[in-house]
Amino acid sequence: MWIGDDDYPPEALKDNIEGNVSFVLTVGPDGLPSECKVTGTSGSALLDDTACSLLIKRARFEPARDAQDQPVSATYTNRVRWVLPRTVPAPKESNVELSFVITKDGSVTDCNLVDAKGVPAETIGHLTDPCIRTEYDPYLDDLGNPVARKVTMRTSVTSEPVK
């Protein structure tokens, strides 16, 4: 699945926006999409842009072939239906630890998902989103010079009965 429930843009959830995005992907001879064009808007640029961005990032195809059985470019047409979830599952007890390095220039290296206990398998991929970010403001030393720093992010979810 190229786009799942966890991909719903938080701003669209907050504003109760849903809709259908029709698109055409240009697929190269390597089977990878190189371009996404919205052919029918959902009415929300956020939903349209998110759909195309995720499709370019995740879609993979068996290459089309010409009469000589050589891989060629082709197009793929479909739509994404963004539907607001009717219920939200209660958070499960979990512990997550992620570490990465923010270099002097603000880029990210050495991303490592250290722990992900109690996290549903379908959401594991989203835990490394801070590593996917292309650039951060670098940390600065006491003199204001950029320095590399290892960052560790820990998140835990617990629940307890209400009296």
Nearest to 140 by CA among 111, 108, 105, 97: 105
Domain boundaries, the chain: 5-82, 94-157
Q: What pLDDT score was predicted for residue 65?
A: 96
Q: Tell me the pLDDT tens digit for each residue of 64-88.
A: 999 999 999 999 999 999 999 877 6
Question: Is 157:93 a contact under the CB 8 Å cutoff?
Answer: yes
Q: How far is CA 77 from the centre of its chain?
A: 21
What is the architecture of the domain spanning 5-82? Answer: 2-Layer Sandwich (3.30)
Average pLDDT score, the chain: 89
Give the pLDDT mean for 86-114.
85
Residue 114 has pLDDT above 70, yes or no: yes
Q: What pLDDT score was predicted for residue 157?
A: 83
Selected residue with higher pLDDT from 130 and 97: 97
Q: What pLDDT score was predicted for residue 133?
A: 62
Total-model pTM: 0.55
pLDDT band for position 150 (cuts 50, 70, 90) = very high
Residue 134 has pLDDT above 70, yes or no: no
Q: What pLDDT score was predicted for residue 145?
A: 95
Q: What pLDDT score was predicted for residue 104?
A: 94
Residue 156 has pLDDT above 90, yes or no: no
CATH of 94-157, one of 3.30.1150.10, 3.40.50.1220, 3.30.1340.30, 3.30.499.10: 3.30.1150.10
Q: What pLDDT score was predicted for residue 46?
A: 97
Question: Is 44:76 a contact under the CB 8 Å cutoff?
Answer: no
Number of helices and strands in the chain (H, E): 3, 10
pLDDT band for position 123 (cuts 50, 70, 90) = low
